[in-house]
Structure formats: C-alpha cells, structure tokens
Amino acid sequence: MAEDGSFAVVYSPMGDRFTLDLGILRPGLLRQSWFDPRYGTLHPFITSDLRAFQTCTPPTCGRGRDWVLALDIVT
C-alpha cells in the first residue's frame, strides 16, 4: 500500500480468496481491477466509495492461476 493510502496491490499466488479492510485507504472513489500476470491484462470490476471489509475472490484459482488485485483512488 502507498504511504498516502492512494493505492494498494494484493497478490494471490494461487487465486485464493482473501479479505481486505478498505477503510485504511484514503477517502475517495475507489477503483478495483484484477490483473492477470499470465497475459498482462487488466479487468476492472468495481468502482465505489464504499469502505468496509471486503472478501475478494479472484476469477480463477489453483496452481498457475495467480492474480493481482489493484486498488486505486480515482481523483
């Protein structure tokens, strides 16, 4: 996470589900995208101003199915 809370990235090496506390990020409109490191593609999936605990489930899971969740504040 950036020191100013403007963005964060979370790596899931096998596409496992995880929970985040979005309340630690800076206030503002939050854009979330899945990044597929295998193909170099970005998949935006939600933009909101909701700040709470969120359980994140990558699009696929298992061996060789790693994902990166990119979170950034849209100004």
- 69 near 9, Cβ under 8 Å? yes
Q: What is the pLDDT of residues 33-53, one digit of tens each?
A: 999 999 999 999 888 887 789
Write down the pTM of the prediction. Answer: 0.88
Residues forming a β-bridge with 55? 19
Q: Is the pLDDT of residue 20 over 80?
A: yes
Q: Is the pLDDT of residue 13 over 80?
A: yes
